[in-house]
Amino acid sequence: MGFDLAFYLLDHWLIALAMLAVLVVASEIGYRAGSRKRGIPESDRSLMSGIGAAMLGLLGLLLGFTLAMAIGRWDDRRDIIVNESNAIGTLWLRAGFLEEPLRDELRKTLHEYTDSRMELGGSRDDLETWRAARAKSEMLHAQIWSAIERANTPGLSPAILSSLITAANELIDVHELRLASIENYLPVSLLLLLLGVAAVSTSFLAWSFGAGTHGSRKAILVLGALIAALLLLIMDLNRPQRGMISVGVGTLERVQNSIAKPQMP
């Protein structure tokens, strides 16, 4: 198991507490170091404060870019699920061109396939459930394609067969896109870099607060809590199978309800 995957499987509350602890410790070290320098020239304290402010500006820039990257990945995952729902619905409708028993067989397989895709999205942190849903999906791909192959008879219009092949291909292609989107999370090294820059910048500001005659820890602690909350938000968006923010499978549920309705003769 790689480091990125091991980090990805950690509980998000544990990560949040660890980040907050790092920022609190960094600010406390800076504050205590600064409190020992009380009485130094104002120019020296302003220099340290300016360095801390400059590093906070850099941190804000990095956080902005990282948040945009995380939101972009989240949007991509949601769009892929919508495309997958459309692909399932399209193939289910085109299956109506087939004669029995192939029509019923293909539609039943699509029912099972939709269930497996919802299980894939609902597996969350359960790797075994995720692997089982993935294996079931790939097995059903073979059944779907087998039904399309058996539909290639002289009595079937080439245009209908071509539309079925196209729809089945789109369905199978979206499968790999969805797997890739789930695994496309930000590298842990980037998040650790953000945490490191946040810790150093808060320690510099805490130093200037400690060196002041009326320095207080409260403002620095609030700043550290806000930075930790933003980092947690980025990680939550970045981890589609974990945390509080989930992409969801609402469109797949709607498709499943739609194709489960009895068709008018």
- On whether residue 265 sits in a domain, the answer given is no
198-236 confidence digits (pLDDT tens): 999 888 888 888 877 555 678 888 888 888 888 888 888
**Per-residue pLDDT at 190 exceeds 70:** yes
**Per-residue pLDDT at 171 exceeds 90:** yes
**Per-residue pLDDT at 265 exceeds 50:** no
What is the total count of domains within the chain? 1
At 227, list the tokens.
Answer: 């930075």
56-92 confidence digits (pLDDT tens): 889 999 999 999 999 999 999 999 999 999 999 999 9
pTM of the model: 0.82
- On whether residue 241 sits in a domain, the answer given is yes
92-125 confidence digits (pLDDT tens): 999 999 888 999 999 999 999 999 998 887 656 6
Q: What is the per-residue pLDDT for 120?
A: 83
- On whether residue 231 sits in a domain, the answer given is yes
Domain with 62 in it: 3-259
How far apart, in whole angstroms, are the C-alpha atoms of residue 255 and residue 232? 33
- On whether residue 264 sits in a domain, the answer given is no
- On whether residue 63 sits in a domain, the answer given is yes
- On whether residue 176 sits in a domain, the answer given is yes
Peptide bond into 101 cis (omega under 30): yes
How far apart, in whole angstroms, are the C-alpha atoms of residue 83 and residue 154? 32
How far apart, in whole angstroms, are the C-alpha atoms of residue 184 and residue 259? 31
**Per-residue pLDDT at 263 exceeds 70:** no
How far apart, in whole angstroms, are the C-alpha atoms of residue 258 and residue 253? 9
